[in-house]
Amino acid sequence: MTISSGKQYLLTFGTFLGRTRTLRINHADDSLTDTEVRNAMQSLVASSAFRGTGGQIASARGAALIQTHITNIELPV
C-alpha cells in the first residue's frame, strides 16, 4: 500500500473583464498566516504579472489550503 499526501493553495482572483481566474500552488507552506497569504495575493495583483484571455487580474477574491491524503490499494494482477 502506497500512502502520499500533499498541500496546495488555491488562490482565486477577479479580472478586469469580470471573470474569475484560479492559481494553484503545489507544495504549500501551511505555516503561512491569513495575512501573509492575503498580502502575497495583493502583491500578485499589483505586479500585473498574470494576464490571459480572461484579462489581467484585478482583485484577490479568495484563498483555500487544500490537503490531500491518498492511499493506493494494491490489487492482485
Higher pLDDT pick, 50 / 3: 50
Decide: 49 and 64 in contact? Cβ < 8 Å: no
- What residues form DSSP beta bridges with 75? none
Domain boundaries, the chain: 2-72
What pLDDT digit, counting tens, does each position of 7-29 carry? 999 999 999 999 999 999 999 99
Answer left, alpha or beta for residue 48, where phi above 0 means left and psi between -120 and 50 means alpha. left
pLDDT value of residue 34: 95
State the Cα–Cα distance between residues 20 and 33, nearest whole angstrom: 24
Decide: 31 and 38 in contact? Cβ < 8 Å: no
Q: What is the pTM of this model?
A: 0.81
Looking up cell 474569475, which residue turns up? 20
